[in-house]
Structure formats: C-alpha cells, structure tokens
Amino acid sequence: MHETGMCDEIVQAVLRRAEGRQVAAVRVRAAFAGHRPDPAVVEQGFRVAAAGTPAEHARIELVTEPPAVSCRDCGARTPAADALALVACPRCGGVDVEIAGDTGAVVESITYQPDVRTSEASEASEVRT
C-alpha cells in the first residue's frame, strides 16, 4: 500500500473514532508484503493528512512486521523476513507459498489529550485500513 494513501486512511479512521476529541498519539501496526513503509515518509504523510484536524499534533508510532507466509508443501507458517521468503519457503525451500493473514495497516490505539471534564485519556482501537 502506498504510504500517502495509507496515511489518509489512518487519519480518517482516527477521526471517526475521535469524534472531535483532540488526539495526542496513534499507534499503527503494519504488515506489508514487499516494500516496508519508510517511517519518515509515514510521519510526513500523517502530518499532511491530519493538518487542520483534531489529530494535527498527534504523534504517530508505526510498528512494522513482515507478513506470514504459508507453505503448501511442508505446512510451515513463517514470517517473510525478506523478499525471498515470498517466493520460497524458508523452512523447506518449496515454491508453493502464499501470503497468510492480513497485509496493510491496523490502528491499534488512539490516545487523546486529557479532557479536564473527564478522566478519559485513551482508547484501544482496531480499525483496519
């Protein structure tokens, strides 16, 4: 997924959940086949997408992980730590592999600026983008 589109989707998901509350931080977990998103590019894209919104000054924490690859030959399910694992099983070398599980980004948590009227400060969220 291209970082710009991903950042737009993340901000939209955060704003839906925030319901007008000021956002202090966002934690996003991303699993990508192929190219790993550059955290600096994601940070910049988030800033642009969040400009003028309640998430404008929020910190974004990006946690990246390789997707899982499932081998039809030996049944192994392993992380695709490099591009070779996307075409050949790291365990048996078989080439009948497929990406298992989701790729893309999930908003794991949103932390809000403390509201002086309530003690509410954060909310866990699993919004898929």
**Residue of 25, 21, 24, 19 whose CA lies nearest to 62:** 25
How does pLDDT run across 85-104, given as a tens digit for each residue?
888 998 999 999 998 876 77
State the angle between helix axes of 39-50 and 3-18 in degrees (0 to 180), rounded to the nearest 10.
50
Provide the pLDDT confidence category of residue 34 given band limits of 50, 70 and 90: low
pTM, whole model, 2 decimals?
Answer: 0.71
Provide the pLDDT confidence category of residue 37 given band limits of 50, 70 and 90: confident
Which of the pair, 30 or 11, is modelled with greater confidence? 11
Which of the pair, 32 or 24, is modelled with greater confidence? 24
How does pLDDT run across 42-51, given as a tens digit for each residue?
999 999 999 9
Provide the pLDDT confidence category of residue 62 given band limits of 50, 70 and 90: very high
Provide the pLDDT confidence category of residue 27 given band limits of 50, 70 and 90: very high
Q: Looking at the DSSP assignment, which residues form a beta bridge with residue 106?
A: 29, 128
